[in-house]
Structure 1
Amino acid sequence: MTAPPVKRARWVDFHCHLDLYPDHAHLIAECDREGVATLAVTTTPRAWSRNREMAAGANHVRVALGLHPQLVSEREQELGLFEKLLPEARYVGEIGLDAGPRFYKSFEAQERVFERILRMCAEQGNKVLTIHSVRTVAKVLQHLEKAFPADRGQVVLHWFTGSAAEARRAVERGCYFSINSEMLKSAKSRELVEQLPVDRLLTETDGPFVLVAGTAVRPVAVSNTVAQLAELRHVDPEEMRHQILRNLTMVVS
């Protein structure tokens, strides 16, 4: 496994779908040029090998092996491929649960897949997981407590939308949280993010799904998120930037 994308990085985008941009290769080069330590998540196991091949020469891009909960209804059969590829993957994501109206019908299958992935990761150990938890934070934490002991790897909750009580439970479990610009738009979300321990924060874009002025954000846009977090926490932006980098080091070391 290649080294973690920390050395000489200036920024962190811990959850981005690089392969869903039209200029995938250019974006990888941009991450290197701008020093954005980027976790390129995948939505299906079949996408992982090509993503890894494209990022093979990158200094700051790492690729995560994923099976997105929103695709479980049509991709559950790829779980065998996931298991075959997992020994080669340090990073795992996007995985998780989604109980939104469009995907609730597959929730039983989602839970089955999620628990199996967690058990595989626990068996192998030293994995870093980025987890989707739409309307399912309590369920996600329940599965983690059941199938993925805290000493078997690190967990980052991507685009966290749970309650303050669920956030406290996640912190007690040892989870980190990746924050994007969309999460800082509402007063309620800002209040929740403000309460999270600063040493558990990472930044993300979730591009290309987050838009600014109708255009998909790119990994370098995390610089704006760092500035917003600094303002929210009443610290200097450079201090917040260095804190995020320290947090990344803790997650991937």
Structure 2
Amino acid sequence: MGDFPLQVIEEYLNSIARHRDSIVGIGETGLDYHWVKDEKLRKLQRDLLIKHLELAKRLDLPVVIHSRDATEDTFDILESFGYKRIHWHMFGYHDQLKRAIDNGWYISVNAILFRSKRYRKIARDAPIDRLMVETDAPWLLVIREGRNEPSTIVDIARMIASIRKTDFEEIWLQLGLNAKKFYNLPVEL
């Protein structure tokens, strides 16, 4: 009985490997210490992150990283691993922006831009060729009512254009090119 969770994890990882041709990335995976205080469970999260990174490297797939209240542990694992195909979801650490970019990673921002100066500063200062957008739908509404939808991505891109005092079409195209390049998407822009 004690091996069952690890068996499930191994089967999941093997399934990803078997379906490599139809997968564009692995994740969201990472460390979330916000709700998890037990060190044994945190260690399990770290171990699973490493397994995902090993698989991604073996299959040459990008990884979407989630990190909440675990910034240093996340950086330590990612940097020690040395894998460059990292997309850090909802990156919110302006003081660590240079560190992430210097590691060759991409970051993304979402509708929290509409409520957070900290995230607007990241959207302003991140190199445009390393920035992506996401909705994190149905979470993180533009306004506090209603439902966040995938179409919100256009509003987020408009906000980035406004923050950067740049033409929307230019930002929209660059964000699309970033996603296409990072995920090796077979789309025309």
Normalization by structure 1: what TM-score? Answer: 0.64
- Is the CA contact 1:201–1:247 (under 8 Å) kept in the aligned structure 2? yes
Query: Deviation digits for residues 167-190 of structure 1, max 9, x if unmatched?
Result: 111101111112101144222221
- Structure 1 residue corresponding to 2:33, chosen from 66, 74, 99: 99
| AA at the equivalent of 1:122 | K
Instruction: Tell me the amino acid that sits aligned with residue 134 of structure 2.
Output: E
The answer for the alignment partner of 2:159 in structure 1 is 228
Residue in 1 that maps onto 2:58: 123
TM superposition shift of 1:209: 1.5
Question: CA separation of 1:241/1:90 partners in 2, compared to 1, >3 Å: closer, same or farther?
Answer: closer
* Aligned amino acid, residue 103 of structure 1: V
**CA offset at residue 141 of structure 1?**
2.2
1:68-88: CA deviation from partner (whole Å, max 9, x where unpaired) = xxxxxxx66531122111211
Count of equivalent residues: 174
Match of 1:180 among 101, 110, 113: 110
Q: Which runs of 5+ in 1 are unaligned?
A: 1-74
Tell whether 2:172 aligns with 1:241. Answer: yes
**Contact 1:130 / 1:156 at 8 angstroms: preserved in 2?**
yes
Correspondences of 1:2-81 after superposition (within 5 Å): 78-81=8-11
What is the distance in 2 between the residues matched to 1:217 and 1:76?
A: 35
CA contact (8 A) 2:94 2:118 kept: no
Select which of 124, 133, 136 maps to 2:70. 136
Residue 136 of structure 1: how far off its partner (Å): 2.0
Aligned residue in 1 for 2:119: 189
Give distance in 2, aligned partners of 1:225 and 1:135. 24
Q: Which residue number corresponds to residue 219 of structure 1?
A: 150
Shift, 1:140, TM fit:
1.6
1: CA distance between counterparts of 2:56 and 2:125?
Answer: 30
Give the Cα separation in 1 of the matches to 2:153 and 2:108. Answer: 11
Note if contact 2:32-2:68 (Cα within 8 Å) is conserved in structure 1. yes
The match for 2:47 is: 112
Whichever residue aligns with residue 179 of structure 1, its letter is V
- Relative distance call for 1:145 and 1:219 in structure 2 (3 A) is same
Give the drift of 1:132.
0.3
| Greater percentage in strand | 1
Q: Residues 76 and 197 of structure 1: is their aligned pair in 2 closer, same or farther, counting only changes over 3 Å?
A: farther
List gaps (5 residues or longer) in structure 2: 185-189
Change (3 A) 1:193 1:184: farther
Alpha-carbon contact 1:99-1:107 (below 8 Å) kept = yes
Equivalence for 1:16: none
**Which structure is richer in relative contact order (CA contacts within 8 A, separation 6 or more)?**
1
Q: 1:225 Cα shift?
A: 0.4
- 2:26, 2:52 within 8 Å by CA — same for their partners in 1? no
**Match 1:210 to one of 132, 137, 140:** 140
Secondary structure, aligned partner of 2:66: strand
Q: Which amino acid aligns with 2:29?
A: I
